[in-house]
Structure 1
Amino acid sequence: MGRQWGPSMRAAEQAGCVVSASRAGQPEAGSWSCSGVILSRSPGLVLCHGGIFTPFLRAGSGSLTATGAASLSGDSCGDDLRLHVQWGPTAASPAGRAEQGRPGLCTPQCSGLDPGLAARPRGRPLQPPRTAELLLLLSCPTFRTHFERLFGGEVAEQWRFASAAPEDEVSEDEEEDQLRALGWFALLRVQPGQEAEEEVGPMVTVAPFEVVPKGAQLLACGSPFGAFCPDIFLNTLSRGVLSNAAGPLLLTDARCLPGTEGGGVFAARPTGSLVALVAAPLCWKAREWVGLTLLCAAAPLLRVAREALSHLQPEAAALADLLPPEVGAPRGLSLQDPGPPWAAAAVLVECGTVWGSGVAVAPRLVVTCRHVAPREAARVLVHSATPKSVAIWGQVVFATQETSPYDIAVVSLEEDLDGVPMPVPAEHFHEVDTMLLTLVC
């Protein structure tokens, strides 16, 4: 992943964990699990996804949206809730110290799963699960507002934000619970183990989402399938970019899977800083998986946590000072900026019920794919982000044959796309050059 990712990979793996929830004395009821981020080692503070707590809410999942509150106290869940947190070896643990000085990074390997593998060297042992208590359920109101605006109403019927494929049997009540909890997270306090941790203070630093520009590289660290087989799945790394944003609701193409909800997403700069947490690892539209992941910015979540902790009993209120600090002033590049010129040249092309992307190559000329705008199309609607919300009609003036290896169409517009920078086709490819390189077919 390049040298620049070394510190961020170490920070992500050291901060990653998996959280399990179950009912006391009811093993037949099963368990729920998700990913989490270790905010502090001493005392142990963990931030994870709130979806696993919906079965334990005294007032049901409706309490997450009924009052409009940004936080709920730990006693909003039943007394039968039991929580456990597990993570990999730390630098302070005997296993972690044994690993120091070894080249490279690796997540814990499977050990003991197959007797035939007994001759192999054992992977780094995991820390034993620690019991934990729920301090707060919290959410970012602005995230929920943007989510409702973008995906609420009738549009929500076309999209599926759940940890199951459309073919899986998920009841309407379960899916409603998942939607209500999508923007909720949980702050936990982990009980100390038999051996005291050497690290003190915050484990990570937090980058305000305003300073992370669109297109910035991100590193997601989560545990696919939650607590299932952490020997191999714990702290799985996936790299992507910040694809887009609406306030604290962020979008990335980093590949995530069910169980990574609550996992941390880190930036290369500021080094190893926490940018966001995974809110929804999968989204489906028209029974087709869209390989994008919804994130909730970490900074506003921690601001809510600080405010909520200050109103609790003195012991809990003191924990607010131990939450990770924010690094970097919210200046410079903003997520609301139009971004680099190549981003502004991209347009949305609609042709009947089919839609896709295109590239403006002249004030009245857009190049897209034939399967998006076929030759026989009567009219095509083109949307531009710059200027905002501009929609211009056009018609297909050229399209390759279906038998052609090239999937290309050219749309002539009825009006100019004012203010859109036109890309220059590249003959020589150099990293970071702002040029039109290719089309996604």
Structure 2
Amino acid sequence: MPPRLRLGTVTPARRTNGGGRRCRASHGERPWGRRAAGRAVHCSRCIACVARGAVPGGAAAMSAELPCCVVSVGEGPEPCSCSGVILCRGPGLVLCHAAVFSPFLQPGLEAWSRHEAPPASVLPPGLRIRVLHAAPKPDTPPALQEHEAQPLALTRCEAFAQALTGVAASWCGGGEAEGEAEREAAAVLPWFAWLRVPGLDAPGGGWTPWSSAGDLRKGAALLACGSPFGALCPDLFLNTLSGGVLSNAAGEGNALLLTDARCLPGTQGGAVLVGPAPSRPRVVAVIAATSCGAGGPGLALLCSLHAVLRSSRGLLRQLGEPPAPPAPLAAVPGAAPLGCVALVESGGAWGSGTLLAPRLLLTCRHVLQAGATTRVTLRPHGSRATVLQARPVFATAEASPFDVAVLELQERAPGFQPPRLASAFQPGEAVLALGFGALGRACGPSVTGGVLSAVVGAPPVMLQSTCAVHAGSSGGPLLA
């Protein structure tokens, strides 16, 4: 059954929740929690419900099992720090983002621009590196343990770097106003650091379960795990969880991903997980940059773990510890149907539109420029993209409080499936916003998740949601 469309003008708004979609209790067991419109919105198995604290004790129980840590570099009361992922316990191996080492590189940042993998010897002798993690204890809260770490290598993820080149201008704005600090940060983005941590060695220890991000689809539920503010206050912030969805992806095997999960500064290097809460969650990506972006609320930039492991084959071969094969991903809940959203270009402007009939498309009036030719691209990120001319057959007046236009396509949309329009609106229910914001035309439509926060009027004339939307999303659908 197709999702219901919550039609209306999509306009940018600040997010008011922590990200994530409410569970529909489709896990085959009796859910618990408060109910909306006759169905449960929380359950004991959904990993996103655990992340929001909806399951009593769920987040605390998971925190001891999460493969995340804090990496501190340097001495003094305020060392450089970030999050990291414990990928192996036999031997103990930790992966983190290399930006935490950039202040200590002896050749300076020129090493990044040369696209060479600088060996660990470029770090000053005696540089202290520590890893802090939560050690599980039976029947007691996890205890924090700190271990000394040894740098093994700094590795550039080639697939991520190539994908980043194609979307960088859309993602971070670019332009001549970009400062030196921004250019240096962009140069560091594809680099990751491998650490050897003897204190994490465990008898019979192996690789942390992981899966390939290439199997994910837009709208799939994700869980980001990191430590906001790094080593500042790990007693409070270690292994903080944030739920969200896969907003967009680019590159070979989805090497680059975007999520609307809220990732605060210091969570760089943290893990992004998939999987139901009772089973051990699987790592699919590493946080490369926290919530950033131009033209709207920020999205977190992720690098596929599979891509990092491919770029690190030589190092792992030298260690004699090839990674375990990726675990297959079952159908990840939440994948969004993208066939109902289209790219609308009018003159030099562009936005989104929603297919209502084989030759009718709903969009916002402000997307259209007077007298300009209008083009509609269907499935613009697929191999069967179709570009059609369109003409407006209805548009509200500029002074109208409604911002609506209807376009007639010159031909029928291929593969059109009629949408199921919503007739009831329940505040608090999970919704997805689709549109060509965030990355624009670079990677097809983006998806963000949230809840229906308010219904205005009786009968309803306006809906409000917490979905993060960006310039270019106007005219896109809201799905429930």
Q: Give TM-score scaled by structure 1 length.
A: 0.72
State which drifts further: 243-252 or 364-373: 364-373
- Aligned residues between the structures: 375
Matched with 1:231 is 235
Matched with 1:144 is 161
For the residue of structure 2 that corresponds to 1:290, the secondary structure is coil
Correspondence for 2:302 among 287, 295, 316: 295
Task: Specify whether residues 134 and 5 from structure 1 end up closer, same or farther in structure 2 by C-alpha distance, changes over 3 A only.
Answer: farther
Correspondence for 1:175 among 154, 173, 182: 182
Q: Which runs of 5+ in 1 are unaligned?
A: 100-123, 161-165, 312-316
Mapped pair 1:210 → 2:214: yes
8 Å Cα contact 1:370-1:409 kept in structure 2: yes
Correspondence for 1:15 among 42, 59, 67: 67
8 Å Cα contact 1:159-1:283 kept in structure 2: no
Which letter maps to 2:408?
Answer: S
**2:283 and 2:354 mapped to 1: Cα distance?**
33
Task: Specify whether residues 417 and 296 from structure 1 end up closer, same or farther in structure 2 by C-alpha distance, changes over 3 A only.
Answer: same
For the residue of structure 2 that corresponds to 1:39, the secondary structure is strand
Which letter maps to 1:280?
Answer: A
**2:431 and 2:102 mapped to 1: Cα distance?**
48
Matched with 2:45 is 4
Compute the displacement of 1:395 (Å): 3.5
8 Å Cα contact 2:259-2:299 kept in structure 1: yes
For the residue of structure 1 that corresponds to 2:315, the secondary structure is helix
Mapped pair 1:64 → 2:103: no
Mapped pair 1:357 → 2:364: no
Compute the displacement of 1:242 (Å): 1.8
In the TM superposition, 1:35-434 aligns within 5 A as 35-66=83-114, 68-69=115-116, 71-88=117-134, 90-91=135-136, 96-99=137-140, 124=141, 126-151=143-168, 158-159=173-174, 172-192=179-199, 200-202=204-206, 204-246=208-250, 247=252, 248-268=255-275, 272-285=281-294, 288-311=295-318, 317-318=319-320, 320-321=321-322, 323-328=323-328, 342-352=337-347, 354-373=349-368, 378-384=372-378, 385=380, 386=382, 388-401=384-397, 406-427=402-423
Query: What are the superposed Cα offsets for residues 255-306 of structure 1, whole Å, 9 maximum, x if unpaired?
Result: 2122111110111268511111111222222xx4433222111122123334
Q: Give TM-score scaled by structure 2 length.
A: 0.67
Compute the displacement of 1:179 (Å): 0.5
**1:284 and 1:85 mapped to 2: Cα distance?**
30
Task: Specify whether residues 266 and 125 from structure 1 end up closer, same or farther in structure 2 by C-alpha distance, changes over 3 A only.
Answer: closer
State which drifts further: 184-193 or 388-397: 388-397
For the residue of structure 2 that corresponds to 1:412, the secondary structure is strand
Greater RCO between the two (CA within 8 Å, min separation 6)? 2
Q: Give the percent of matched residue pairs that are identical in Structure 1 and Structure 2.
A: 38
**2:236 and 2:348 mapped to 1: Cα distance?**
42
Q: Which runs of 5+ in 2 are unaligned?
A: 1-41, 52-58, 435-451, 453-462, 464-476
RMSD of aligned C-alpha atoms? 3.8
